[in-house]
C-alpha cells in the first residue's frame, strides 16, 4: 500500500492570536507546521508528502523547506484546499492521510491506527470519546443536559483510499467540517480508530503552551 500525506496549512488561524498565522508561529523552536510535516516525513509507510499553502504565503520564507514536500496552493475554503492537495499526489498513491498543520503533536501510533484500518476499510479517522457532561445553554445559563452516548471528538489524520476521497471531493458541494463529512456525503463508511488526548489542534493562544509542554515532555526536556 503506497501512502501519501496532505498537510493542510492554508488557513489564517485568527483565533490563535499573534502576528503570524498559527501554523507558522514557533513551537519548541520550530514552526507549528514543521512538527506536523515531520511526523509524516518520518513515518516509514508515508512515501509522498504535500503541503497546502495559502496563496499569500507561497512567496514568503514562512513555510519550512525541510522536510521536503510538494507544494499545493490552497483555495478559499478548506475543502478547496484539500482538493488541491489531493490533486498533487501521484497516481501511484493508494491511500492518503489528510492532516491539519495545526495538530503538531500527532504520535506515530495514531497514524499507525489509521493505516491499519485502511487495510480493510475505505476510510478511517481517529477520535476520542466524549466523557464530560454536556450542557445546553443560553444567555450564560445552563438550559439543560445532552446525552453524550456515541459522541466523539474528531481528530486528524483522516485516512482514505485516494480514488474514493478524490471522487467524493470532486462531486460534493463545497463546505464541510472535515474530510469525514465529505466522505460520508459520498456514502463512504468511516472506521473510528483510537485518538490521543495529546493530539490537540492549536486554536487559541493557550494551546501553544500546552502543545509546547507536550512536545518537550516527549523529547525529554
145 located within any domain:
no
129 located within any domain:
no
If the chain, 221 residues long, is cut into consecutive pieces of 10 residues, what is the mean pLDDT of each piece? 97 67 93 97 97 95 93 94 96 96 98 98 98 96 97 98 97 88 97 98 94 89 55
Q: At 33, which CATH number?
A: 3.90.550.10
148 located within any domain:
no
- Domain residue limits at 194: 3-124+154-218
CA distance 18 to 20: 6
Find, among 115, 85, 112, the residue nearest to 100 by Cα. 85
Q: Which three cell numbers stand for residue 91?
A: 497516481
54 located within any domain:
yes
**pLDDT at residue number 16:** 55
CA distances from 29 to 17, 35, 121, 127, 200 (A): 18, 10, 38, 28, 18
143 located within any domain:
no
Find, among 163, 154, 220, 214, the residue nearest to 190 by Cα. 154
**pLDDT at residue number 18:** 63
130 located within any domain:
no
**pLDDT at residue number 203:** 92
Residue 78: which residues within 8 A CB-CB, separation 6 or more?
A: 8, 10, 11, 176
**pLDDT at residue number 218:** 87
**pLDDT at residue number 221:** 55
If one counts the domains in the chain, the total is 1
CA distance 182 to 123: 11
In 3-state terms the chain splits into helix, strand, coil percentages (rounded to 5) of 30, 25, 40
**pLDDT at residue number 31:** 95
CA distance 113 to 130: 19
Query: What's the farthest any 2 CA atoms get from each other in the chain?
Result: 54
pTM across the whole model: 0.94
Q: Which three cell numbers stand for residue 66?
A: 525541510
Beta bridge partners of 9: 53
Beta bridge partners of 46: 3
**pLDDT at residue number 20:** 86
Q: Which three cell numbers stand for residue 168?
A: 467524493
102 located within any domain:
yes
- Write the secondary structure of 24-54 as one string of H (helix), E (strand) and C (coil): HCEECCEEHHHHHHHHHHCCCCEEEEEEEEC
**pLDDT at residue number 175:** 79
135 located within any domain:
no
CA distances from 3 to 40, 120, 145 (A): 10, 15, 42
**Dihedrals φ, ψ of 212, to 5°?**
-65, -40
Amino acid at each position: 500500500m503506497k501512502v501519501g500525506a496532505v498537510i493542510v496549512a492554508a488557513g489564517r488561524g485568527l483565533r490563535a492570536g499573534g502576528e503570524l498565522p498559527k501554523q507558522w508561529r514557533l513551537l519548541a523552536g520550530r514552526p507549528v507546521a514543521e512538527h506536523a510535516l515531520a511526523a509524516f516525513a518520518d513515518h516509514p509507510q508515508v512515501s509522498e508528502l504535500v503541503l497546502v499553502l495559502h496563496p499569500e504565503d507561497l512567496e514568503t520564507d514562512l513555510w519550512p523547506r525541510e522536510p521536503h514536500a510538494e507544494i499545493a496552493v490552497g483555495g478559499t475554503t478548506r475543502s478547496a484546499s484539500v482538493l488541491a492537495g489531493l490533486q498533487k499526489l501521484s497516481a501511484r498513491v493508494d491511500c492518503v492521510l489528510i492532516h491539519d498543520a495545526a495538530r503538531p503533536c500527532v504520535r506515530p501510533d495514531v497514524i499507525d491506527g489509521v493505516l491499519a484500518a485502511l487495510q480493510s476499510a475505505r476510510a478511517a479517522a481517529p477520535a476520542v470519546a466524549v466523557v464530560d457532561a454536556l450542557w445546553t445553554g443560553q444567555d450564560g445559563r445552563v438550559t439543560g443536559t445532552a446525552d453524550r452516548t456515541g459522541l466523539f471528538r474528531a481528530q486528524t489524520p483522516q485516512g482514505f483510499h485516494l480514488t474514493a476521497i478524490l471522487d467524493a471531493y470532486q462531486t460534493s458541494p463545497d463546505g464541510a467540517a472535515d474530510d469525514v463529512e465529505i466522505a460520508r456525503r459520498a456514502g463512504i463508511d468511516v472506521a473510528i480508530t483510537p485518538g490521543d488526548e495529546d493530539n490537540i489542534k492549536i486554536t487559541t493562544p493557550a494551546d501553544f503552551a500546552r502543545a509546547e509542554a507536550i512536545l518537550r515532555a516527549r523529547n525529554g526536556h
